[in-house]
Structure 1
Amino acid sequence: MSIDVTPAPATGPAAAVPAVRAAGLHKVYGRGETEVRALDGVDVTFASGAFTAIMGASGSGKSTLLHLLAGLDSATAGSVFLGETELTRLDDTALTLLRRERVGFVFQAFNLLPMFTAEQNIVLPLELAGADVDRAWFDTLVETLALRERLTHRPSELSGGQQQRVAIARALLTRPDVVFADEPTGNLDSRTGAEVLAFLRRSVRELGQTVVMVTHDPAAAAYADRVVLLADGRVAGEITDPTPESVLTGLEALRGADVVAQAAGGRH
């Protein structure tokens, strides 16, 4: 376990072409007195085949960063790269196609269509793309996520954990370059949340998936290989081989630094 207050660059083969990368990323909402600077010059790299958590206080910019990395929102300035593709230069049509083919997204609220069965929800992205379903891969996901007996059930007939597992299967079915997860356990009890996190970790270890997750929970972040810490829209440090205790320590250090900065500002 190590805690580092400055982000370390990726090394080895993944450093050449990381799974996703942000360079000089800025995001500003509003203008004038209502202006909010959600991201303020973010430079961060996410290696392929790794599980990374993004953490920070409320308003630190973590969800904004995730949405920009996934192509769900546009940057005010700076660049986002998915592999060698610069998302921030794509038009809406190309961006929609890229999200469909190369990005998976897991939402806190599941985002399943209520009129469809679990199986229909899982295969929906491929059907929208007019692509064939790889039934062997589908079966692997269904078995791994223990959904075989629930495929004909609609979301209202599933528990929260089952709904989230359906959402994860949907995100993984297209074999995306990166799966982005925004508070994926936020609506789940601790036991079910642990099961979901364990599968995300397995998808990295056993299936070679790349996962980038936003969470506020130190226990959830401890499932990751690395935690990126944000504060005031900037990368404030990272934690490698995180544990719940090291994550708490890192977050407390950020809060302490913020208090010192505010006190210093008040003396001027």
Structure 2
Amino acid sequence: MTDAPGAGSRPAEAAVRARGLAKTYGKGAAAVRALDAVDVDFQAGRFTAIMGPSGSGKSTLMHLLAGLDSATGGQAFVGTTEITGLGDKELTLLRRDRVGFVFQQFNLLPMFTAEQNITLPVELAGGQVDREWFATLVRTLGLEQRLAHRPSELSGGQQQRVAIARALIAKPDVVFADEPTGNLDSRAGAQVLSFLRRSVRELGRTIIMVTHDPAAAAYADRVVLLADGRIAGEITDPTPEAVLAGLDALRSLEAPVDGDQTDAADPAGATGTATRGAGA
């Protein structure tokens, strides 16, 4: 992890970062601490997956980093902008201009064609579509023959590719993907994940993805592991096997023996470099 950007660290400046980020739901005896003072950086031009057992705080972390939910404590930054200090209007503008979203539900407008769905964010913002960038996205995502089709005329994988192009059309600083293959079969899911990775490697985008699937996480450059609302380790150059081993180690630590609650900074040797497997 990198420290807050300074004069000597600008080349490694994070696209997104959290400092002491916390979220508590409810009050008093019913309070649930979903995120507990998290410090983490996400580098620009990288594909990062966030994983953890059910209830570990992975979706909460993504929602706070994306400005979709408010933090109880700490700070979240997109670039050098502290989003935890923004008002509703400023957050709306930031999400419109600097952040893209891909969800499990495709959220395409059924009356619009694929092309109209892709260009909608730019047009709603009153901007001009960069046709060269549009052509690059369409070509990279293999949508050239589908632009005139409406969502009902597209497969699930094609709809998700349209959603990815829509998320990228405004050239956001970062794209957040929340279980983007959750509604797809394995073949379509693999295609979508390949396109997400290509958007990082060939188009220079930054993607942060929440997933529960070790095979999906293996497409990323790095996996950040959460447990009990805290960062519990990371895996670089992940393989499905390394991710599964890390998750198994986290689950084994959820019920500590004899009150031992030692922090799992490196579950099952997860931190470090592993040879990339099926996701290569």
Residue 215 (structure 2) pairs with residue 216 (structure 1): no
Residue deviations 1:83-128 (CA, integer Å, cap 9, x gap): 1000011111111111111001100111111222111111111011
Query: By how many angstroms is 1:14 displaced?
Result: 6.0
Distance 1:216 1:15 in 2: 32
- 2:274 equivalent in structure 1: none
Task: Tell me the amino acid that sits aligned with residue 126 of structure 1.
Answer: V
Task: Tell me the amino acid that sits aligned with residue 199 of structure 1.
Answer: F
The 1:238/1:14 distance shift into structure 2, 3 A limit, reads farther
1:53/1:212 contact within 8 Å kept: yes
Query: By how many angstroms is 1:20 displaced?
Result: 0.3
1:21/1:82 contact within 8 Å kept: yes
Q: Which runs of 5+ in 2 are unaligned?
A: 261-280
Query: By how many angstroms is 1:158 displaced?
Result: 1.2
2:70 counterpart SS class? coil
- 1:89 equivalent in structure 2: 85
TM-score by structure 2 length?
0.88
TM-score by structure 1 length?
0.92
Residue 258 (structure 2) pairs with residue 264 (structure 1): yes
Distance 1:65 1:119 in 2: 32
2:56/2:227 contact within 8 Å kept: yes
Query: By how many angstroms is 1:57 displaced?
Result: 0.7
Q: Which runs of 5+ in 1 are unaligned?
A: 1-7
Greater RCO, CA 8 A, separation 6+: 1
Residue 30 (structure 2) pairs with residue 34 (structure 1): yes
- 2:172 equivalent in structure 1: 176
Where does structure 1 differ by over 4 angstroms across 4 or more consecutive aligned residues? 10-16
- 1:56 equivalent in structure 2: 52
Distance 1:227 1:172 in 2: 22
User: Aligned to 1:244, which of 236, 240, 247?
Assistant: 240
Most deviating of 14-23 and 151-160 = 14-23
Distance 1:108 1:197 in 2: 13
- 1:68 equivalent in structure 2: 64
Structure 1 vs Structure 2 CA RMSD: 1.7
Distance 2:216 2:24 in 1: 29
The 1:42/1:244 distance shift into structure 2, 3 A limit, reads same
Residue 216 (structure 2) pairs with residue 193 (structure 1): no
1:24 counterpart SS class? strand
Give percent identity, aligned residues only. 74
Residue 133 (structure 2) pairs with residue 115 (structure 1): no
From the two aligned structures, give the one with the greater helix fraction.
1
Distance 1:61 1:258 in 2: 13
2:12/2:43 contact within 8 Å kept: no
